[in-house]
Chain A
Amino acid sequence: MPEIKVENVSKLIEGKPIVNNVSMEIPDKSFFCILGPPRSGKTMLMRLIAGLEMPDKGRILFDGEDVTALGPVERRVAIAFQDFALYPHLTAFDNIASPLKAMKLPKDEIRRKVLEVARYLKIEHRLTHYPSELSGGEKQRVAIARALVKDAEVILLDEPLVRLDYKIREDMRAELYKIQKEIGKNVILITGDPFEAMSLGERIAVMNEGRIVQLGTMEDIYERPVNVFVGRYFGVVEMNIFDGEIVKMNDVASLRTKIFEIPLKNARNLPEGSVKIGLRPEHMSVLELAGKREVNFRGKIVLTEVVGSDTIVHIDAGLGELLRVSVPAIYRRQIGEEIDVGFDIENLYIFSSKDEKLLARGGDLIG
């Protein structure tokens, strides 16, 4: 079960760096996640780790051994592709057995292994069917079975759930987690859905424009996003970002915005002048349901978006950008209605307006 090390790896396509000088370590036997928006280079990074592509610069080490020039088989890596990549002319059984046939294993051993993994993924009743006859969920299970059957050291899942119907994705997420725990192999998940990364990845690498912007556990990235991009991108509902200002008058500092002002205790190392304030919708609440908070203000409803059991209320509170407030219930109101919302100061994020780096959390300023 290799500990994977990526050292200054770069890959250029027609001169443009798709993966730009990436270095990271993926611990052994973990559920590692590479998260990034479309065209952030995450799929290419996966292909480099898998050995489907060779880097133009840098090295890749499995347990300290340089595998940069080796292909997927020598690296004992298995891949489940985003579009399933099943062989259309082979039955589900032959698709799963394909890696074992390539290894020229005896027929009965192949049959035993395929049946075992098919039962495990609950598709043993569909083995004689061709991919065109399978549902999305079933095709995904066959793709994962094909990756698991040859007990490779590393299993790479390239956006495995993106093609699935919304509801099936919910169940598959829990199952992927269960699978990783039971097979104890190194699983690397590539995804564009932050919610998927949050619920599955023990360690997450957030990528943007070919670089690793932040790497850490779910809590690290959620609590201490390195900049506005990670703050906005890494969350169930996109973080609210609006302009504010640090004002320092005769050694009394305060954080001022268009509609509220907060006195700050230790703001010594904060630069004066404009800053970007971040506030997660789930850290805000509607007074009518959750009572008063440390800071409260009024906003006009633009849209109430019911997301299954919760609701995201979009309000215009005069801060320029619309604010999103997360309400843990079905909460439908007319457009234009006024509601009071609030938040606690400790949940604030302060970013520099120059390079958008995280300067401090609300808790650091009033502690």
Chain B
Amino acid sequence: MPSGSKSSRLPIFLQLPATVVIWSLVGYVLLWLIFTLFHRYPPGKPPEFVGLGNIVAMLQDMRLYGAVLRTVYYAGLGTLIEVLLGMAVALALVNLIKNEKIRFAVLILFLLPMCLAEAVASVIWLMLATPEGYLNCFLRALGMKAFPWLSARWALTTLMIADIWQWTPLPLLLIYAARSSIPVEAYEVAELDRLSPWTTFRVVTWPYIKYAVVVAALLRLIFMYITIDKFILITYGGPGFASEIIGFYVFVQSFGYRNIGYAATLSFATLIVAAIITYFFWNAFKRRE
């Protein structure tokens, strides 16, 4: 491109529309958050300056720490299972189904859940997990006792299972794509070298899919942390606080208790965490070439 020519302002013109549209709202959001971080909104009265009051309250809020622990369990274990299950299915697909057309068709079928809306997945899993739902119907049909899927003890785990059902296809897809990009010569050389299946995996397959696994894990970690649709639609954080993760807690503070000042503080903190995870994702994604 004729860089440095009279059209050197072209790059900026290209970015203007997107920047104007985005920052017209995001600008206000960030300013509002920073402002509200140091204020309280008593109903009917103008906002009061409370200095670090909100932040101090956040650090002492035991309910928040409960939510953090639940998020780590939900997002951490959920991501781990999704990536391992996704890898297993991806490698099984490539090694077992040699016919390209059939393998691709099966892959596309497996990708169905992740194309659905989180809300539609919630519809599906509510009907499965609700006490008189299908899961318990099958259990009772087999003569077993109904299982308390949405009880305080199991609600969060059931939500994790629902997310695993919907989002395992993402690691499956990324790892399948990475595995298919491996040049066939690499396996031919391994065959000529008479390597065992395990060694072949260690020196041929793993180096190529390692980045896809890391990228998939980070992607899932971010999205399990920032998505709360299932929590609103299936358990609404309940029973009690049993399935209340950070996101839902912020949601409840914002719209349940309408505790504006504190909700903004929580929102700001969670934004920072999201940006940090994204930074790791960006480096991992760049290094995968």
Contacts and interface: CB of A to CB of B under 8 A. Distances in A.
Q: Does A touch B (CB under 8 Å) in the complex?
A: yes
A69 B6 CA distance: 8
Contacts of A97: none
**Majority SS of interface residues in chain A?**
loop
Interface in A29-57: 51-54, 56
A71 interface: yes
Contacts of A69: 5-6
Contacts of A54: 2-5
A54 B5 CA distance: 6
Nearest to A56: B4
B7 to A, nearest CB: 9
Contacts of B4: 53-54, 56
B6 to A, nearest CB: 7
Nearest to A54: B4
Interface string B1-28: 0111110000000000000000000000
Contacts of B6: 69
Q: What bracket does the count of chain B residues touching chain A fall in?
A: under 10
Interface string B44-58: 000000000000000
Nearest to B5: A54
Nearest to B4: A54
Nearest to B7: A71
Nearest to A71: B2
Interface in B103-144: none
Interface in B219-276: none
Contacts of B5: 54, 69, 71
A51 B1 CA distance: 10
A69 B8 CA distance: 12
A56 B5 CA distance: 11
Contacts of A53: 2-4
Contacts of A51: 2
A9 to B, nearest CB: 13
A329 B44 CA distance: 103
Nearest to A52: B2
A53 B3 CA distance: 6
Interface of B: 2-6
Interface of A: 51-54, 56, 69, 71
14 contacts: A51-B2, A52-B2, A53-B2, A53-B3, A53-B4, A54-B2, A54-B3, A54-B4, A54-B5, A56-B4, A69-B5, A69-B6, A71-B2, A71-B5
A-B pairs, top 4 by smallest CB distance, nearest first, are: A54-B4, A54-B5, A71-B2, A52-B2
Given A53-B4, A71-B5, 8 more contacts: A51-B2, A53-B3, A54-B2, A54-B3, A56-B4, A69-B5, A69-B6, A71-B2
